[in-house]
Structure 1
C-alpha cells in the first residue's frame, strides 16, 4: 500500500446528513477505512421509523466505495448502538433499555443474548462494527457522563457483563468495541465539552476501572476505545486517546487488537489540537484507528506529511494500518446472523422484567391500588406508561401519583418515584415508593406496570449505590 492508502486505512470519519455520494467519493479519494453512521445519516419513513431498505442501500454504497481500491477485506460500516440514550437506530429495530439493566438483572446469559440480539439486527443492514459495549465502571451520582450507560458500579460485574455482551455481538458477526479506556465512569466532567481529569493513581485504576478491560482483553475482544481523559499519573494534561503512556498500559494488559480513539471532533480534543494535529498525535502515541476527525481530508494530509517528513515513523503507520486491515479480514470470515428487525424484542422485554428494582416499598402485592395518576418523564413517556398501565389492568386518572424521572431529571415527589435512566435521583426523592426502571421502551413500561399492579415481582438489584441505598438494594 502507498502512504496515502495507509493513511486512509486508519481514518473512520462521519459525514453530514444524506450526503452519501460525497462520502463515497471521499472514501475512494482518501482510501478511508469506512464510515460511521450517526443519527442524522439514518433515513426515516413518514412515521419517523428507520427506513430499513434505504439504510441497507446507504451502507451498501459505502461498502462499494471502500472496495474500489481492490482491498480483499471489507470496509468498516460502524454505528453507535448501545441501547438506552445511545441508540442511533430505533424502531422497527428492537428498542433496548439502558445497559445498566444488565447489571441490575445480574444474569450474564441474558446479557449475552442481548448482545447477540442487538447485533443480529444490525448485520442484515450492512453494519459490521458497533461501538458497544460501554465497559466503564460508574462511581454513581458523581459520574455526569456515563451513568446508566455503565453496566455496573462493581468492577467484577461490569467486567462479566461487558464480556458477555461482546461475545453475543461476535456470535452475530458484528465487531464489538469496549470503551472508554482508562475509564470514563469515575471522572466528573464530560469529554464532549472539555477534558476530564482522572486523578486516581495507576494502582487504583487497575483495581477498579481497568478490570472490565482486562477481562475483555482476556476474552479476545478485537477493539478497545480510548477516551479523552487526562490521567496525571500517566501523562498530565494529555488526553488518554493521545497519550503514549496510556497506550503502553493498554498493551501491557495483553491487548493485541485495534486501539481506536473516541471521536476526535469532541471538545476535549478540538480545543487543544487544531487542524490535523490530533490525528498525527494519536497515531504517534499508539492509536490504530482514528474516529471522526474534525476534517478527514486535513487529517489524511497531516498523516502523509508527518510520515514524509519523518516526524511520524513509517513503521507506526504500517503497524496501525496492518492491525485495522487484519481485524477486517478476520471479520469478513465470520458467519453473520441475519435477524429480522424487531426479532429480539422478547429478549429486550426479558431484560427489563429482570432489571426493574424496588428500592423502597413493599416487595409483595400491588404497590398501587387499581388506579394511578402519572406526571413527569420525557417526550412520549407518559403515553407509554398509560398504555402499559392499561395492559396491566390499571386505570389512569385518579389515585396515587407516579412521578417519572427521565434522563438527567431532578428528584421528584409524589407517591411512587420511577427513574427511567440512572437511578441517582431516587436519593433525593420524597416519594415513599422508589423504583429504578433503567429504560423507556414499551417493554420497560410493561415491566413497571406489572410490578405496580402486583402481577410480577421486581427481581432487580441496584448495580451501584444511590445515596443511602447501597449497591445490591432490591427485593429478595
Structure 2
C-alpha cells in the first residue's frame, strides 16, 4: 500500500501532520480547544504569571510586543534574557501536555515595524525590496531576518506585509508595502516568506483583503474598502493568490469592511471574507489582526469579537483585548450552540497541524546547531539598501555633491547617522549643498537635494532639483546614500510606486 502520510496538503504540512492533529484535538476538552485558537500577549515582564495563564487556559502561545522585550542598561535587546523568556513560555505550553511547540510570535517586518532592535540587525523599510526588484536578494533578506529570530525562540513572524499600496492616500501601510504593482508585491512577498521558511520561522502574509488601498487606519477606526470583487482580484488579492500558489502557511485577515463581501463588518470577523480567502485555494491557518485594535474592540467588546471571528472562519485569534473573557465567551457560545463544535475543531486542528509540521521540519526554536548571532544580517541589510536607493531627478553618475555638504530635517538621530555615514564616505558636513532629510510622515522639503527616508511620496512636492528615495533610516541606508552622494556607488533602485509626476519604475538605467 502506498504511503499516504507524506501526501502534501497544499500549505506546507503533510497528511501525517493533519492526522496527528485530528487525533490530538479529538482528545481535547472544550477548554483546551478554546485555548488552542488564542494567541494573546501579556504586560511587561510578567512572564511567570503569563506562563501560568498559558497552562490554565491552554493558550496557543504568545506574541511578544515591545514592552515584553528585556533590555540592557543601554536600551538594547538583552538577547540572552529574551531567549530565556521565550523558552519559559514554550515550557508552559509543554507542561500543558501538548506534543507540539507553542507559537512564539513577533512583529518584525523591518523599517518602522520592528519590536526587536539592536544588537539584532536593523533592516530598511520593506519598500526597499520593491525598489531593488531582486527576488533572490529578497529571499536572502527574509532568511537573514528570520535566522536572528529562531535562536531566540521565535517560531513565527507576523511578516511580510504584502499589501499593495495606492500611494499618498494610504495612511497606514505606506513603506511597509513592497510595491504599488500587484505582481511585484506578490513576487517579493513570496520570496521574503520563502526565505523565512528557509531559516525555520513561519511567515504571515498580511492583511487580506488588502490594507494598502484603504484611506483609514484600522488601529483607530474601521476602514471601508469600496472596490468591487473584480478590482480586488486584479490588485489587492494578487499577492495573496501568489502566497496560496506558493503553499505559504499563514494569512492574516485585516480589520477592513468590504461592502462587496459584507457591509459594515471587518473582514477579520466576516464569514463571506473568509469564504473569499478560501476561494483563492487557501488551506492554511487564517489569523486575525490584533483584536484589541480600535476597528474591532469598539464595536465588539467583552469576548464578542473572539466568538464572531472563530464562527466566521478564523483559526487563530491574535491579541484579544481580554483573553480570559475571550476564552469564556467561546465556551459559552459552544454550550449555547451559537458556535459550532465542528468549526472550533477545524480551527484547533489547523493550528495544531501547522505546529506539528513545523516541529517535524525545523530545528527546535532556540537550539539551532548553527544559531546565527544577533547582527549577522548586517551585510545583507547593507546590500538591500544599496540596491534600493533611487534617483527620481538628478544625475545618474558622478558625485552629486562636492566634498562637503550641509544637512537639515529628518527625525531623531537621522542627522547624526547621516553625518557619521558622510564621514565614512569621505564627505565633510558644514558647508556646500543642502541635503534635506524627510523622515516618516514628513512634509515636502526644499534645499538642493531632498531625500525621503520612508515612503517617497513627499518628494512629489519637494522643490529640490535632486530627489532621492532611500526607504530606510538605518546606518546601512545612510551609508548607501552617502556613497551615491560622493559618486562612489550607483543608485540602481527603481520607484516601486508612482510619486506625483514620477511613474513607478523611475530610476537610473
TM-score (norm 2): 0.93
Whole-angstrom CA distance in 1 between matches of 2:47 and 2:391: 47
Which residue pairs with 1:331 in the alignment?
Answer: 358
**Who is 2:129 aligned against?**
102
Shift in Å, 1:335: 2.8
Alpha-carbon distance in structure 1 between the residues aligned to 2:158 and 2:203: 6
Match of 1:421 in 2: 454
Cα distance in 2, alignment partners of residues 376 and 74 from structure 1: 47
Match of 1:410 in 2: 443
Distance 1:65 1:374 in 2: 51
List alignment gaps of at least 5 residues for structure 2. 1-27
Partner of 1:241: 268
1:18 paired residue among 40, 45, 53: 45
Distance 2:457 2:48 in 1: 44
State whether structure 2 residue 413 is matched by structure 1 residue 383.
Answer: no
Partner of residue 297 from structure 2, selected from 270, 290, 305: 270
The counterpart of 2:463, out of the listed 430, 448, 464, is 430
Matched residue, 2:118: 91
Write the mapping of 1:169-180 to structure 2, written as runs, cut at 5 A. 169-180=196-207
Question: Residues 365-404 of structure 1: matches in 2 within 5 Å?
Answer: 365-404=398-437
Tell me the equivalent position of 2:232: 205
Q: Deviation per CA, 1:149-174, whole angstroms, max 9, x where unpaired? A: 00000000000000000000000000
Show the counterpart of 2:341. Answer: 314
Structure 1 stretches lacking a partner, 5+ long:
none
Q: Deviations over 1:47-82 (max 9, x none)?
A: 111100000000000111111121110000000000
Q: Take 1:273 and 1:335, find their aligned partners in 2: how far apart are those partners? A: 38
Q: Distance in 1 between matches of 2:481 and 2:49?
A: 46
Alignment of 1:39-438 (within 5 A): 39-336=66-363, 338-438=371-471
Distance (whole Å) between structure 1 residues aligned to residue 463 and residue 431 of structure 2:
20
User: How many pairs are equivalent?
Assistant: 476
Matching of residues 450-465 of structure 1 within 5 Å = 450-465=483-498
- Whole-Å separation in 2 of the counterparts to 1:431 and 1:341: 39
Deviation at 1:340, TM superposition (A): 1.0
* 2: CA distance, partners of 1:206 / 1:165: 22
Question: What SS does the corresponding residue of 2:63 show, helix, strand or coil?
Answer: strand
Deviations 1:333-368 (A, max 9, x none): 123452111111111100000000011111011111
* Cα distance in 1 between the residues matched to 2:96 and 2:45: 23
Q: Distance in 2 between matches of 1:86 and 1:130?
A: 12
Cα RMSD after superposing both structures: 0.6
What's the secondary structure of 2:287's corresponding residue? strand
How far apart are 1:46 and its partner, in Å? 1.1
Question: How far apart, in 1, do the equivalents of 2:409 and 2:352 lie?
Answer: 49
Q: Secondary structure at the match of 1:184?
A: coil
**Cα distance in structure 1, aligned partners of 2:342 and 2:474:** 48
Q: CA deviation at 1:379?
A: 1.0
How far apart are the structure 2 equivalents of 1:393 and 1:454? 11
